[in-house]
Amino acid sequence: MAIMLDSIRNIFSIPELRKRIIFTLLVLAVYRIGAQIPNPGISASALAELWETQKGTLLGMVDLFSGRNMSRMTIFALGIMPYISASIILQLLQVVWPYLERLSKEGELGRKKITQYTRYGTLIICIIQSFGISFLLENLTSPGGAPIVPNPGVGFKFMTILTLTTGTVFIMWLGEQISDRGIGNGISLIIFAGIVVDFPRAAQGLINGLRTGDMTPLRIIFLMALMVGVIVVIVFVERGQRRLPVSYAKRVVGRKIYGGQSTHLPLRVNTGGVIPIIFAASVITIPMTVAQMIKVPFFQSFAQQFGMGMPLYFLFYIAAIIFFTYFYVSIIFNPTDVADNLRKYGGFVPGIRPGKNTADFIDAVLSRLTLVGAIYLATIAVIPEILISGFKVQTLPLIGTFLDQNLPAWFTQGLNIQFYFGGTSILIVVGVAMDTMQQIEAQLVMRHYDGFMRKGRMKGRRG
């Protein structure tokens, strides 16, 4: 504790670092203030009733990344997801569009151009999504029959498009300001702030459950222990990496000798981060979301098999996470380019011939690491959802009834947790916290101060 207090004092004793942290906190405060401004023309009570029926759909994932603004339909309802979607689309296009591929290799100038295209893409996605939301809201009613939009029409559509698009563009600007003038990654911190702001309400829900008897002390202890265990696993895996040894041949240029040293090529266990879970959750919840819009009994009955807790849901969810993990890693990491860069600068992996053999070796190692990372992501995503809704094994053919009678109730019915204890949210919170702490640590070490850990240094810190 004393070490932590000393480190905090060190942070605020450095004028530049102090200004960066205060600026970041002020920007996040502005974001939270804007999240309280409702979108005009919507009945809040009818919307709240409707949202109770939307759990487990694509809207639930969007609501998570919007900081619960979607469920309250504030001016920040779209959140930062359009920007993330535009960024992912631009990354995909870099693989198939030679022009963008050349831009990505032109250094800082090329990255600025791609960022500009990402902003344009965000604007287009915002306009399309906000128009779709305005049209959908006008045609929805609450379970009690009250209209979500009391006065629909062109005016409501125009105002919704204007407010939601402006809100997302403003959030994007806030995130860029944090990245440039604050500390940490601005977009990640915006998502982080939207998730952690829900923690006090979640804690209050646990306390109320304890008072009413819905939550027993033993169940809360088990839940807290599981949360700590999940966080420990996330920290351990997120820092895990496979280091491939790389040596550089000696080169004589004039009177100077270059190279001759050895280093390593770090390959992260979880190279894809949280993106594969976002992709998988978006795909797996589409049937349930569409079924609520298309009132066809057969399709609704089929879509129910993709509801939270259903065996088909977990089967396809896990398969989708594994698929998108490999898919996304193949986009952001190209072993052939890495091997070519190593050969260009005289580097080689000991025992492996440069060129294609090196690329094949890196690809084989990365494939094994990606499998471990995919299993890790699937486990982190699925276990909390089992605790929320349980595993509805009774729907399995032949053995369903037997399993339902013999498995523990917490596994088949869940723990009746009223807040979203999602592995995705924990993964984001822990990952962003680790990244921000490492940046603060780097600032302290650069100015010859002790960081948060004096004896056991953080694993992003060398030397």
Residues 6+ apart with CB under 8 A from 347: 246, 247, 248, 249, 341
Look at residue 257 and give its three-state secondary structure: strand
| CATH fold group of domain 24-197 | Preprotein translocase SecY subunit (1.10.3370)
Identity of residue 190:
I
Cα–Cα separations (whole angstroms), residue 221 to 49, 161, 226, 258, 406: 32, 46, 9, 59, 24
Strands 241-248 and 262-268, by their bridges, are antiparallel
Q: Which of 124, 155, 123 is nearest to 138 (CA)?
A: 155
| Residue 217 burial (C-beta neighbours within 10 Å; 0-12, 13-18, 19+) | exposed
Name the DSSP class of 39. Answer: P
pLDDT at 462: 42
- 75-90 burial code (b ≥16 CB/10 A, e <16): bbbbbbbbbbbbbbeb
Give dist(CA 423, CA 104) in Å, integer: 32
pLDDT at 463: 39
Give dist(CA 80, CA 198) in Å, integer: 17
Residues 6+ apart with CB under 8 A from 453: 3, 441
Q: Which residues in the chain land under pLDDT 70? A: 1-7, 53-67, 250-260, 288-296, 298-300, 303, 410, 415-423, 447-463
Domain boundaries defined on the chain = 24-197
Q: What is the pTM of this model?
A: 0.76
Cβ contacts of 168-173, under 8 Å, gap ≥ 24 = 168/76, 168/78, 168/79, 168/80, 168/82, 168/83, 168/122, 168/126, 169/122, 169/123, 169/126, 170/34, 170/76, 171/31, 171/34, 171/76, 171/79, 171/80, 171/83, 172/80, 172/83, 172/119, 172/122
pLDDT at 145: 78
Structure tokens at 59: 């809207």
pLDDT at 193: 84
pLDDT tens readout for residues 189-231: 888 888 888 777 777 777 877 787 777 788 778 778 878 888 8
Q: CA angle, 54 as apex, 52 and 58 as ends, to 5°?
A: 150
Number of helical (H) and strand (E) elements in the chain, helices listed first: 21, 5
**Cross-strand partners of 268:** 241
DSSP track, 332-347: H--HHHHHHHHHHTTE
pLDDT at 291: 64
DSSP track, 413-448: H-----S---HHHHHHHHHHHHHHHHHHHHHHHHTT
Spell out where 81-154 has E strands. Answer: none
pLDDT at 460: 44
- CA dihedral 431→434→439→443, nearest 10 degrees, is 170
pLDDT at 416: 61
pLDDT at 120: 92
Give dist(CA 363, CA 351) in Å, integer: 16
